[in-house]
Amino acid sequence: MKRVTIGDVAAHAGVSTATVSRVLNGGLVAESTAARVWEAAETLGYSPNALTRSIFAGRASTIGVVIRDLSSPFYLDLIRGIDEVATAADSPVLLANTNRGADREAAQVRAMDQQRVRGLVITAGETTDDHARRMAKNGTPCVVVARTAAGLHSVSLDDVAAGRLMAGHLAGCGRSRVGVISGRDRSTQVKRAEGLRSRLAEHGLPQPEEVQVGDEAEVDEAVAALLGRADAIVCTTGRLTVAVHAALTARGLRMPDDIGFLTMDDFPWASALGITVVAQPSYEMGRRAAEIIVEEPGSPVEVVFEPTLIARGSCGHASA
Amino acid sequence: MKRVTIGDVAAHAGVSTATVSRVLNGGLVAESTAARVWEAAETLGYSPNALTRSIFAGRASTIGVVIRDLSSPFYLDLIRGIDEVATAADSPVLLANTNRGADREAAQVRAMDQQRVRGLVITAGETTDDHARRMAKNGTPCVVVARTAAGLHSVSLDDVAAGRLMAGHLAGCGRSRVGVISGRDRSTQVKRAEGLRSRLAEHGLPQPEEVQVGDEAEVDEAVAALLGRADAIVCTTGRLTVAVHAALTARGLRMPDDIGFLTMDDFPWASALGITVVAQPSYEMGRRAAEIIVEEPGSPVEVVFEPTLIARGSCGHASA
DNA sequence: TAGTTGCATGTAACTAGTTACACCTGCTGT
DNA sequence: ACAGCAGGTGTAACTAGTTACATGCAACTA
């Protein structure tokens, strides 16, 4: 039950702990001694304590990730990207889900700080930015994902461009009365709606009607409010795609004939369902966020990714 | 840049580090002293080092999770369940993805051991069991998910029952020639096929034809090999559902009329697509696994969950 | 042969906390 | 008046490692 320590290995090999440490970390040691130490470590089943190493190094090897919403496909791919880079850098990923609770977000960021993570990827509201900036000042690189934040690294999407892509496609498909269902959170949603509006205006189309929705439960009502007055429903957040799609099909509406449907974020089944989406390169964004942490640039880096439209017909087909 | 330590707080409040520690952890301290310490901690922006605490406690507060396949919906829900319980127990989750590489699995389990995780949830092949048992002997509760393992805790599905559920539904829908597409891995697949075969036999139906598939790329070929000889395709692993479904629809086959389709693991879009599945309670399984770690039972616990059939018509409808 | 060099190793101080123990008050009981 | 006790606090040893520095010893040089 008692853990094997470096001292046990040292005693077994008949050397000091300093020598064992040197063998493990590649210092100057005679080959015969090294062999004895390796053998002792092997027979005792020694597993070096990463925590102790970290306290000496001043920080842990782990990369922290605070996730708003573990069930969203966007965040899942983001984590995959982060994990990929982290594993390559020998950094385990410390994950914390917040379920979009502001208090829980703050608590998790604080917890990550206490764990002395090597760096932190944050997908949380602005409330956590102050703490993140304090961490950054202490030498912990913090990367905000899906929006920008003054004084912090960020990896985000050109949300205005995403909105404009959507509007361009809608116009190309001959849709003129657009109903928008958007999430209640932050800047992302505002910018996408902004891009949508500006480009619709450029096409001489009327401004869209917009309904903000907190969670899945409110979606059906929102759809009901828009139907009749719209020939296309746009959903500006990927996490509501299932719910909006369900609300439409539950009414017997067929896409694209009865109604156009356009949403954010690609997902595995979009192709099978023929749903047109504006995709973000979520996996790449995760990779980039983790890379920033590994590289530790001196001044704030702002990476903006471009969205892509993947046309699959749920909104009709654009005329060239 | 230099981190605030307990010593700094102590100096600022004019007390010893022991007193600060007592204030933070609720020892015997005069109220006036405590107030001075809290104030000092506040003004200096003190954030206690969880690593140092852990090394004293002998282990970290984190719960490790080794995941085979981050893109599978089953594992995602599992993580959500684990995270939920872990957060309630003030334990961050240390996540490691292995992409189904045996060497990477072993390396990640070893890494978790070195991080001195409080407990470990493993969804990996049998190769890692030896190391897990060694960890268990050292006092780290290890829970194997999706299969059982001698001497270790486990949370799994009654896979034979899952196979039998599938066979029962197929028989009820009047399907007689069953083609099975299964993953190449471990016992899970074997048991599901076993359950399937036994119950098909009980119904007097011919034994199914089975094709094992390594990854998505091989699915189309497997489907091609089964078509014509089967009136229903069964997929015994959720991670191939998208690929099998795509292979079927790519051939213009409609479900359930042209071919029956039945697969494992529920997912958000199954309902929209009308796909009949045998579901595992993945979120609950994650919760249970984490609970075992928090409770630390003395002897190995084996929890087996029951699968549920969710009929949605992709295989036809069972007659009563 | 004495001095220099350099490899191999041990000693001890360090990381940032926790905690057993000793100590000093000040109050109560006899 | 003095022992006894309890509350409050500091000292120092402890966790499991890393590393700067000192030392020992052999080989090589002068």
H or E, element range at B264: strand B260-264
Find the Cα–Cα–Cα–Cα dihedral B312, B316, B319, B320, rounded to 10°: -10
Q: Which of A117, A28, A15, A102 minimizes the C-alpha distance to A65?
A: A117
* pLDDT on residue A59: 94
Q: Which of B150, B148, B118 minimizes the C-alpha distance to B135?
A: B118
Give the integer Cα–Cα distance in Å for A184 and B163: 43
Which residues on A lie below 8 Å from B69 (Cβ)?
none
Q: What integer best gives the mean pLDDT of chain B? A: 95
Residue A275 has pLDDT above 60, yes or no: yes
Angle A146-A151-A157 from CA coordinates, rounded to 5°: 20
Confidence bin at B197 (pLDDT 50/70/90): very high
Tens of pLDDT, residue by residue over B55-73, are 999 999 999 999 998 888 8
Tens of pLDDT, residue by residue over A199-254, are 999 999 999 999 999 989 999 999 999 998 999 999 999 999 999 999 999 999 99
Residue A197 has pLDDT above 90, yes or no: yes
Give the integer Cα–Cα distance in Å for A144 and A129: 9
Q: Is there a contact between A76 and B85 (Cβ–Cβ < 8 Å)? A: no
Confidence bin at A318 (pLDDT 50/70/90): confident
Work out the number of other CB atoms within 10 angstroms of the CB of residue B202: 12
Q: Which residues pair with A309 in a beta bridge?
A: A278
Instruction: Say if A70 is an interface residue toward chain B (CB within 8 Å).
Output: yes
**Would you give the end-to-end CA distance of chain B in angstroms?**
71
The distance of Cα B283 from the centroid of its chain, to the nearest Å, equals: 8
Q: Per this entry, what is the length of chain B?
A: 320
Using a 7 A cutoff on CB, list residues near strand D. A 3, 5-7, 17-18, 20-22, 24-25, 48-49, 52-53, 55-56; B 14-19, 22, 27-33, 52, 55-56, 58
H or E, element range at A190: helix A187-202
Q: What is the pTM of this model?
A: 0.94
- The percentage of residues in chain B with a pLDDT greater than 90, rounded to a whole number, is 91
Distance B16 CA to D3 C1' (A): 31
Q: Which residues pair with A142 in a beta bridge?
A: A120
The closest CB to that of B95, out of A47, A90, A93, belongs to A93
Instruction: Say if A112 is an interface residue toward chain B (CB within 8 Å).
Output: yes
Give the integer Cα–Cα distance in Å for B59 and B57: 6
- All structural domains of chain B, each given as residue ranges with its CATH number in brackets, are 6-48 (1.10.260.40), 63-157+282-305 (3.40.50.2300), 159-280 (3.40.50.2300)
**Would you give the end-to-end CA distance of chain A in angstroms?**
71
Residue with structure tokens 């039998």? B164
Instruction: Say if B96 is an interface residue toward chain A (CB within 8 Å).
Output: yes
Q: What is the mean pLDDT of residues A180-194?
A: 91
Work out the number of other CB atoms within 10 angstroms of the CB of residue A262: 30
CB contact under 8 A, B92 and A112: yes
Q: What is the mean pLDDT of residues B110-127?
A: 96
* pLDDT on residue A26: 86
